[in-house]
Structure 1
């Protein structure tokens, strides 16, 4: 089996340059370096990362200059590294000196995974507490209704006239037909809904 070190370098904009990362990855013996000019917000918005991950084979090592070059959030980073581990691929971050081919590197990644889970639980708890506090003040969560109670009454009155079409009423109130149906309930079949 041919073991390869593959590098991944990323900067957020084309105004920045990859020289520092490229030099560090070359010095670390990366045979190939995938270079990306993209925000790290979403893995989907990083086509070179996708290409890099596809190129890696069992026994290879993915090397980055710093952890934040691979994932913007801790949970994103942990998900990528866990996927690599399942595929038999090691991960190395040069600045933080993390190498999952060693026991201590694997331990650090597991600590990161625990921290990511802890962070998700904190967010969930804060969200639940905020919703409970809002409910205690009489507020409901969710999106503001598209139609007020008065508008729904007006629409129901308009629908009593078979000459009024649902599509025209929807346009008048700036909503779609589905919003009208959701607001007023079923409309008699003899009425024209188009």
Structure 2
């Protein structure tokens, strides 16, 4: 069975064009969500994945309808393939039901993995260069060195940590870390 999946990000958007294209391409059943693709928990996507049977084909108009990130797409397609189901994307002309289509998809996935690793390397190199220049990334500390000393002094006097947190307008966890 060819099973279509359509998604738009907001309630105001329409699924009509995707549903028409999926039907024209042979989808016999269509699941549709109106939710951001960055959300992993999607009611209709999860229902579709639960109902897949060996030999089915999941069909989307564009792969970003199934997932916004390539990592998420690879994860979902791996689940689909584990149940011996094919995957087709009309816009990208990906079809894992054929040997050539599987090759194209896996080359695509390998390139994406390579790019993720290169981004990580460049990020680490940039952070190291910034550290050598004396810059430190991340959020600024909630308490200065003097404030931390005052927290310790107050705690030593027996003040309750939640009172200290309120005094400095920080979370209890911040005081506990000091």
**TM-score where L is the length of structure 1:** 0.84
Separation in 1, partners of 2:28, 2:136: 56
Aligned to 2:114: 118
**In the alignment, is the contact (CA less than 8 A) between 1:12 and 1:37 conserved in 2?**
yes
1:157-184 C-alpha deviation (Å, 9 max, x unpaired): 333434x33321121012234422321x
1:11 and 2:8 equivalent? yes
Distance 1:167 1:108, change over 3 A: same
**Is there any run of 5+ residues in structure 1 with no aligned partner, and where?**
184-194
Matches within 5 A, 1:24-63: 24-44=21-41, 46-63=42-59
| Contiguous gaps of at least 5 residues in structure 2 | none
Instruction: Give 3-state SS (helix, strand or coil) of 1:62's partner.
Output: strand
For residues 36 and 114 of structure 2, what CA distance do their matches in structure 1 show? 25
Match of 1:187 in 2: none
Map of 2:162 onto structure 1:
167
- Does the 8 Å contact 1:7/1:25 carry over to 2? yes
Is 1:66 aligned to residue 62 of structure 2? yes
Larger gyration radius, structure 1 or structure 2? 1
Query: TM-score, normalized by length of structure 2?
Result: 0.90
Q: What number of residue pairs does the alignment pair up? A: 178
158 and 95 in structure 1: CA distance in 2 versus 1, 3 angstrom threshold: closer
